[in-house]
Chains A and B, each alone.
Chain A
Amino acid sequence: MPDRGRPVLEVRGLEATLTGRSGARVQAVRGVDFAVASGECLGVVGESGSGKTVTLLALLGLLPETAHWSGEVRFEGRDLLALPDPVRRRARGAGLGVVFQEPLSALNPVFSIGYQMMEPMRAHLGLTRRAAAARAAELLELVGIPEPGARLGDFPHQFSGGQLQRITIAMALACDPRVLIADEPTTALDVTVQAQILALIRRLRAELGMAVIWVTHDLGVVATLADRVLVMYAGRVIEQATTAELLGDPQHPYTRGLLAAALAPRAPRPRRLRPIPGHPPAVAPARGCSFRPRCAEALAQCAAREPPRIVIGPRRDVACFWDPATGGARDG
């Protein structure tokens, strides 16, 4: 899709350090920058543990109190962190719709889903109880929950996993967000329902100009939904490109590995990520590129320092010294 001008959400220099239960500190996000424009869909891919969820939580200001983090988050031109608390809360609650990774644990077990859907509508949109209930039923209908009006009074445990996932998507859409932030929202859905949801998201993007950040393991979803893709590895963005460029001409050895694994003919689950040999590091090595231990193309300089973000095209960059075109080091 074409570029649509000013970014609605812009993240610069995001860093986050978490403290685990044992007291060990994990540098989960190390300098992430990206931006999404209205109506644009940004796909975020990366192995488990690469810092996708922590990135989203950090930009939303929802990390636990024990976490340290820094960076700049601009939403509609305003620095979210500089806003006074109630304003920020409202901006976040109404402007950014969030779908969390685990739908069951993201819902309060003792309130009906109707109540939980209506609560932000009444707080942010000022809807009456009746209007909010009508809208909640409408949204449930939209995501394909049968008999939505009758089910508003039901509690989370009375729905299936896939239904809950759709309910949390409906909740995220409740206040007509400017940006929808979804963390693996379709993993528990069967193919037809997933196609329905993706069609719905595409429609909302076109009609309302809603921007979307879609975290997924599924490169098939990325190919159909995303305009641009971020590839994350060990807390960093290692490659950023339009979907076509990324799928057609991946630059980073890690991205190339991901695609090769996903497109391998004998892969047990085609189009899904298949592991690249080795494991992602829990903590990045002190020196050099964090992917080097698993990299088949590693050069001498990869051990010396972490490759910086190298801009190689309009809105396209990669954090790697190796150049697939030459098989040697990039120049410049």
Chain B
Amino acid sequence: MLTYTMRRLALAVPTLLLISLIVFLLLELAPGDPMAQMPLTIPPEVREQMRIALGLGEPWYVRYVAWLHMVFVVEPSHMLAAATGVDLAAEGSRLLSWQSRAPVAEIIAQRLPQTLWVVGLSYLFGILVAVPLGVASARRPHSWLDTIGTFIAMAGFSVPTFFTGVLLIVIFSVTLGWLPSMYDTTLEVTDWDSLRRQAAQLAMPVTVLALYNAAQISRYVRAATLDNLAQDYVRAVRARGMSERAVLYLHVLRNAMIPVVTVIALGVPNIFAGAIITEQIFRVNGIGELLISAIHANDIPMVQTLTFLFAVLIVLFNLLADILYGMLDPRIRYD
């Protein structure tokens, strides 16, 4: 298992390098000028100097290597220094956002917690709803509970998050006035009251994404449970006189978890992508919102780095899914 993991990690390096090159080139080829947002009164010579200062004078491969160096060496060492005080003294200038002139890594570090809260909580709640719902639906197919489950799944699948988001805002913020429609980014949780307000402002974005997640996962749980309930071993466990609870929540669920955990791990990068839209609707200043504003401002280093981060997430969670699969299913041996 360990050697397998190591081999997969080693393989991930060239994959990520290739992805980074593609991301870099795509944005390189895309039309758009980082100076477009500058006032028109700036004289052309100054404009040209600014371009050179941004490093735009060099050919693309030089800039690609410089970017790699910054992303993989300079920024991590600065992050490490900031976090632990250990200074590796990596040489080289930092990767700066064109928009704000601050290091890209620091901006992302500021924005990430909001996204992690929204995404993490919604995934957690989504799973907590989806697993019992899926199992109960499979236990009694076509019962009222299964019908409700099917309805939630259909709604979660077919109604886009921007619609459910706006609907919730209209109901709970505009009509009822119970919840804030905008995320207060300055709020710091220090006491009970601020915790309550934090929960209130998280409620809607988390609900929207949780519904979306629950819709997908509950279908997988239901299918996997149904599949296992039809297996002969279930009959054998019943014949041995074990309770229905043990049959369902031990024997069947343990088997059903093999595909479900894989799907959950593979779905993590997706919900980061889903969070982009939700963050726009609720004005959560997470990395989704950061990406959108960076795209608008033609902030290429920021867009490159964020896109690359998404790629890293996808590669890592693919690896995680494989490893979990091997851990959950004793019939799989990777070595």
Knowing A110-B258, A110-B328, A110-B329 are in contact, say whether A105-B242 is a contact too (CB < 8 A): no
Identify which of A93, A110, A157 contacts B240 (C-beta below 8 A): A93
CA of A86 to CA of B328, assembled, Å: 31
User: Is the Cβ of B330 less than 8 Å from the Cβ of A105?
Assistant: no
CA of A96 to CA of B255, assembled, Å: 26
| A→B interface (CB under 8 Å) | 57, 60, 62, 86, 89-94, 96, 98, 100, 102, 105-111, 119-120, 123-124, 155, 157, 168, 171
User: Is the Cβ of A107 less than 8 Å from the Cβ of B241?
Assistant: no
User: Is the Cβ of A106 less than 8 Å from the Cβ of B236?
Assistant: yes
Interchain nearest-CB distance for A182 vs B (Å): 12
Interchain nearest-CB distance for A86 vs B (Å): 8
Q: Please encode chain B, from 224 to 246, with 1 for each CB lying within 8 Å of some chain A CB and 0 for all others.
A: 00000001110111111111001
Confirm or deny: B251 has a beta carbon within 8 angstroms of a beta carbon on chain A.
yes
User: Is the Cβ of B237 less than 8 Å from the Cβ of A157?
Assistant: no
Residue among B233, B246, B330 with the highest chain A CB neighbour number at 10 A: B233
Knowing A60-B239, A93-B242, A120-B240 are in contact, say whether A111-B254 is a contact too (CB < 8 A): yes
User: Is the Cβ of A107 less than 8 Å from the Cβ of B236?
Assistant: yes
Confirm or deny: B101 has a beta carbon within 8 angstroms of a beta carbon on chain A.
no
Within 50-101 of B, Cβ neighbours of A (below 8 Å) are at none
User: Is the Cβ of B330 less than 8 Å from the Cβ of A155?
Assistant: yes
Q: Can you list 9 A-B pairs, Cβ within 8 angstroms, ordered by A?
A: A89-B242, A93-B242, A98-B236, A98-B239, A108-B255, A109-B233, A110-B255, A110-B329, A155-B331
User: Is the Cβ of A105 less than 8 Å from the Cβ of B231?
Assistant: yes
Find chain B residues with CB under 8 A from A124 CB. Answer: 241
Nearest-neighbor residue (CB-CB) of B331 within chain A? A157
Interchain nearest-CB distance for A41 vs B (Å): 20
Identify which of B239, B258, B329 contacts A92 (C-beta below 8 A): B239
User: Is the Cβ of A62 less than 8 Å from the Cβ of B241?
Assistant: no
Nearest-neighbor residue (CB-CB) of B252 within chain A? A108
Residue among A102, A110, A119 with the highest chain B CB neighbour number at 10 A: A110
Identify which of A62, A90, A168 contacts B235 (C-beta below 8 A): A62
User: Is the Cβ of A62 less than 8 Å from the Cβ of B238?
Assistant: yes
Find chain A residues with CB under 8 A from B235 CB. Answer: 57, 62, 100, 106
Q: Please encode chain B, from 297 to 335, with 1 for each CB lying within 8 Å of some chain A CB and 0 for all others.
A: 000000000000000000000000000000011110000
Knowing A110-B258, A111-B254, A155-B331 are in contact, say whether A171-B233 is a contact too (CB < 8 A): no
Find chain A residues with CB under 8 A from B241 CB. Answer: 89-94, 120, 123-124
| B→A interface (CB under 8 Å) | 231-233, 235-243, 246, 251, 254-255, 258, 328-331
Find chain A residues with CB under 8 A from B242 CB. Answer: 89, 93, 119-120, 123
User: Is the Cβ of A107 less than 8 Å from the Cβ of B233?
Assistant: yes
Find chain B residues with CB under 8 A from A110 CB. Answer: 254-255, 258, 328-330
Find chain A residues with CB under 8 A from B330 CB. Answer: 109-110, 155, 157
Find chain A residues with CB under 8 A from B251 CB. Answer: 108, 111
Nearest-neighbor residue (CB-CB) of A117 within chain B? B240
Nearest-neighbor residue (CB-CB) of B228 within chain A? A108
With A62-B239, A100-B235, A105-B232 known, 16 other A-B pairs at CB within 8 A are A57-B235, A62-B235, A89-B243, A92-B241, A96-B239, A98-B236, A98-B240, A100-B232, A108-B233, A110-B258, A111-B254, A119-B242, A120-B241, A123-B246, A155-B330, A168-B236
Interchain nearest-CB distance for B138 vs A (Å): 13
Identify which of A86, A91, A92, A100 contacts B236 (C-beta below 8 A): A100
CA of A276 to CA of B97, assembled, Å: 86
Find chain B residues with CB under 8 A from A100 CB. Answer: 232, 235-236, 239
CA of A171 to CA of B328, assembled, Å: 24
User: Is the Cβ of B255 less than 8 Å from the Cβ of A93?
Assistant: no
User: Is the Cβ of B233 less than 8 Å from the Cβ of A105?
Assistant: yes
Nearest-neighbor residue (CB-CB) of A154 within chain B? B330
Find chain B residues with CB under 8 A from A92 CB. Answer: 239, 241
Nearest-neighbor residue (CB-CB) of A174 within chain B? B240
Nearest-neighbor residue (CB-CB) of B329 within chain A? A110
Nearest-neighbor residue (CB-CB) of B240 within chain A? A120
- Per CB-CB distance, the 4 closest pairs between chain A and chain B, nearest first, are A93-B241, A105-B232, A106-B236, A120-B240
Interchain nearest-CB distance for B137 vs A (Å): 15
CA of A279 to CA of B240, assembled, Å: 35
Find chain A residues with CB under 8 A from B238 CB. Answer: 62
Residue among A57, A60, A94, A111 with the highest chain B CB neighbour number at 10 A: A111
Find chain B residues with CB under 8 A from A157 CB. Answer: 330-331
CA of A101 to CA of B79, assembled, Å: 62
Interchain nearest-CB distance for B244 vs A (Å): 8
Find chain A residues with CB under 8 A from B232 CB. Answer: 100, 102, 105-106
CA of A106 to CA of B237, assembled, Å: 8
Find chain B residues with CB under 8 A from A171 CB. Answer: 240
Identify which of A89, A109, A119, A120 contacts B255 (C-beta below 8 A): A109
Nearest-neighbor residue (CB-CB) of B251 within chain A? A108
Find chain B residues with CB under 8 A from A168 CB. Answer: 236
Residue among B240, B251, B258, B330 with the highest chain A CB neighbour number at 10 A: B240
CA of A89 to CA of B244, assembled, Å: 10
Find chain B residues with CB under 8 A from A123 CB. Answer: 241-242, 246
Find chain A residues with CB under 8 A from B258 CB. Answer: 110
Interchain nearest-CB distance for B255 vs A (Å): 6
Find chain B residues with CB under 8 A from A86 CB. Answer: 243
Find chain B residues with CB under 8 A from A57 CB. Answer: 235
Residue among B231, B237, B329 with the highest chain A CB neighbour number at 10 A: B237
CA of A62 to CA of B235, assembled, Å: 7
CA of A13 to CA of B241, assembled, Å: 24
Interchain nearest-CB distance for A176 vs B (Å): 13
Nearest-neighbor residue (CB-CB) of A124 within chain B? B241
Residue among B235, B246, B328 with the highest chain A CB neighbour number at 10 A: B235
